[in-house]
Amino acid sequence: MNQYDEIKNLLKKSKMLLEQKGPINLAKSIEDDLEKKSEDIDPEDVKKDKSKTYRISGGLLTIHGKDKKDLELTSEEKANFQETMDEFVNDVSDLGEFGVLNIYENEVQWSGKIMDFDIEFFFSIGESNGVYINGEMIKLDEKLTEIVTKLTSFYDKFKAKWAKVLALRKKTKMKK
């Protein structure tokens, strides 16, 4: 299960708990859930996981890996990230607020917010392909339909660009 799915599940559980009638201890429920998850984690795996964050033109890119070589940022990856942010502004919205782009061994995830619609977006390629949006009380009109279409079209560009990055990282890893 990836980071996005875990957060999504925790939010779903907390909403369900809030909807229940009677006294509840939300903090205790979340704490119990986190303890169950931590029991499933092998301490050796935790020690092996590393990450390094790079600031690129105001955006953040984090690479996750097992050793220092996995955490190295290539000039091509840096250029891809800059292009991704620029293309998003040109193709989708110039009122975008970008989250961290995460590169894992088998997945790339990127999220952000489109300010003029108050919509959060989440792109994922690899283990859980897709584009996801989140928001509350969003007015359904032609402008929303247009922005969703733009997000979907942009996701295709994003997927093509970052799938190549994943493939190159795997080739490089095999050559070690």
pLDDT at 54: 96
pLDDT in tens, 125-174: 987 899 999 988 888 899 999 999 999 999 999 999 999 999 998 876 65
Percentage with pLDDT > 90 across the chain: 55
**How many CA atoms lie less than 13 Å away from 20 in the CB half-sphere?**
12
pTM greater than 0.75: no
In one-letter notation, the amino acid at residue 121 is F
pLDDT category at 5 given cuts 50, 70, 90 is: confident
Torsion, Cα of 29, 119, 115, 63 (10° steps):
70
